[in-house]
Chain A
Amino acid sequence: MSSSQTDAAVAQGQAITAIAQPPSPGEVLWDRLFRRCTFGIAVFTVLLTIYVVFSIGRVAMPAIHAYGWQFMSGKTWDANRAEYGILPAIAGTIYSSILGLIGGTVFGLAIAIFLSERFLSSGLESVLKFLGLAERSVWDTLPDRIENLLRTTIELLAAIPSVVYGLWGIFVVIPMVRPGANWMHEHLGWIPIFGTTLSGPGLLPAAVVLAIMVLPTISAISRDALVAVPPKIREAAFGIGATRWEAILAIFLPTAATGILGAILLGFGRALGETMALAMLAGNANVLSWSLFSPANTLAALLANHFPEAGTVEVGALMYAALVLLTITLIVNILGTLILQRADAELKGLR
Chain B
Amino acid sequence: MKSGLILRTRSIWVSMAFFVLALAWGIFGSSSRMSAADVGEPITLQGTGATFPAPLYERWFAEYNKLHPNVQVNYQALGSGAGVKQFQQNLVDFGASDAAMTDEEMAAVKNGAVLLPMTAGSIVLAYNLPDGPAELKLSREAYVGIFLGKITQWDDPAIAKANPGAKLPAAKITVVTRSDGSGTTFVFTTHLTGISDAWKSGPGAGKSVNFPVGVAGKGNPGVTALIKQTPGAIGYVEYGYAKQTGMPMAILENKAGKFIKPDLESGQKALASVKLPENLRAWIPDPAGDSSYPIVTYSWLLCYKKYQNPKVANTLKALVQFGLDQGQSYSKDLGYIPLPTNVIADDKKALDLIS
**Chain B residues near A152 (CB-CB < 8 A):** 8, 11
With contacts A147-B4, A148-B7, A199-B233 taken as known, whether A309 is within 8 angstroms of B81 at the C-beta atoms is yes
B181 part of interface (Cβ distance < 8 Å): yes
A301, B225: Cβ atoms under 8 Å? no
B207, A283: Cβ atoms under 8 Å? no
With contacts A78-B209, A80-B204, A309-B207 taken as known, whether A200 is within 8 angstroms of B216 at the C-beta atoms is no
Q: What sequence of 0s and 1s flags, for each residue 288-311 of chain A, a beta carbon within 8 Å of any chain B beta carbon?
A: 000000010000010011101111
**Could you count the A-B residue pairs with CB atoms below 8 Å apart for me: how many are there?**
107
B226, A170: Cβ atoms under 8 Å? yes
B67 part of interface (Cβ distance < 8 Å): no
A199, B174: Cβ atoms under 8 Å? yes
A194 part of interface (Cβ distance < 8 Å): no
A145 part of interface (Cβ distance < 8 Å): yes
**Chain B residues near A81 (CB-CB < 8 A):** 204, 210
**Chain B residues near A79 (CB-CB < 8 A):** 181, 206-209
Q: Which residues in window 140-197 of B have CB below 8 A to A?
A: 172, 174, 176, 179-182
B31 part of interface (Cβ distance < 8 Å): no
Cross-chain contact of A295 among B4, B206, B215, B225 (Cβ < 8 A): B215
What's the least CB distance linking A282 to chain B, in Å?
9
With contacts A144-B1, A200-B233, A309-B82 taken as known, whether A80 is within 8 angstroms of B180 at the C-beta atoms is no
A145, B3: Cβ atoms under 8 Å? yes
Cross-chain contact of A171 among B81, B214, B215, B229 (Cβ < 8 A): B229
**Chain B residues near A12 (CB-CB < 8 A):** none
B218, A280: Cβ atoms under 8 Å? yes
Cross-chain contact of A305 among B174, B176, B180, B210 (Cβ < 8 A): B180
Bound Cα distance A149, B10 (Å): 12
With contacts A80-B203, A80-B204 taken as known, whether A141 is within 8 angstroms of B229 at the C-beta atoms is no
With contacts A141-B3, A279-B179 taken as known, whether A201 is within 8 angstroms of B209 at the C-beta atoms is no
A120 part of interface (Cβ distance < 8 Å): no
Cross-chain contact of A309 among B181, B204, B216, B232 (Cβ < 8 A): B181
- Closest residue of chain A to B176, judged by CB? A200
**Chain A residues near B210 (CB-CB < 8 A):** 76-78, 80-81, 83, 286
**Chain B residues near A255 (CB-CB < 8 A):** none
- Closest residue of chain B to A309, judged by CB? B181
Query: How many residues of B are counted as interface, with CB atoms below 8 angstroms from the partner's CB atoms?
Result: 38
A200, B81: Cβ atoms under 8 Å? no
Bound Cα distance A170, B230 (Å): 10
B4, A308: Cβ atoms under 8 Å? no
Size category of the A interface is 35 or more
B291 part of interface (Cβ distance < 8 Å): no
A175 part of interface (Cβ distance < 8 Å): yes
B320 part of interface (Cβ distance < 8 Å): no
Could you write out 15 A-B pairs with CB less than 8 Å apart?
A: A80-B205, A144-B1, A197-B172, A200-B176, A200-B215, A279-B179, A280-B222, A283-B215, A283-B216, A284-B217, A285-B214, A285-B216, A286-B210, A306-B180, A308-B78
Q: Which residues in window 175-210 of A have CB below 8 A to B?
A: 175, 197, 199-202
**Chain A residues near B172 (CB-CB < 8 A):** 197, 199
Q: What sequence of 0s and 1s flags, for each residue 240-276 of chain A, a beta carbon within 8 Å of any chain B beta carbon?
A: 0000000000000000000000000000000000000
Bound Cα distance A174, B214 (Å): 16
A199, B230: Cβ atoms under 8 Å? yes
What's the least CB distance linking B303 to chain A, in Å?
21
**Chain A residues near B215 (CB-CB < 8 A):** 199-202, 283-285, 295
Bound Cα distance A147, B216 (Å): 42
